[in-house]
Structure 1
Amino acid sequence: MPKYFFNVVLNGHSTVDGLGQQFPDDGAARAHAHHLTILLADRCRDPANSFVAVSGLDGRLAFKVPFRLPQSEVPN
């Protein structure tokens, strides 16, 4: 099973995942990254500079999952 690293960039400040986690595929890893954005949403003040960067064992970026504003805060 591939190992993924979930590096969180929140309000422009990054936190590096030094442990990583195993998931069966990119879809499962993407779902986990999305879950992290939900867990951390109350701390997100700058969605344009907030995302989870997911990389593999080789350190290459596999994909990013952005933080999104809650629907109640989306401007009309």
Structure 2
Amino acid sequence: MPEHLLLSGQASYILHIAASEDVLRLNRVTRSTGEGEIRHASGSRYAPSVPLKAIVVCLEESRPFVADRLA
């Protein structure tokens, strides 16, 4: 569903959790704008994450986005 909203133009990006590129056992909040980025960031994440600051920034931008897999 989030991918459909992105590809149909209803959302500018998907905000979600991905593995840190520096330390793979840690998480990072990321924005994906294409299918390849979504697939690259997919997978189960079991480490804690703190996405609230990123959500606030996204809301302040006033662009449509999907928040997915943030917990």
TM-score (norm 2): 0.32
Larger Rg: 1
Greater relative CO, 1 or 2 (CA 8 Å, sep 6+): 2
* TM-score, length basis structure 1: 0.30
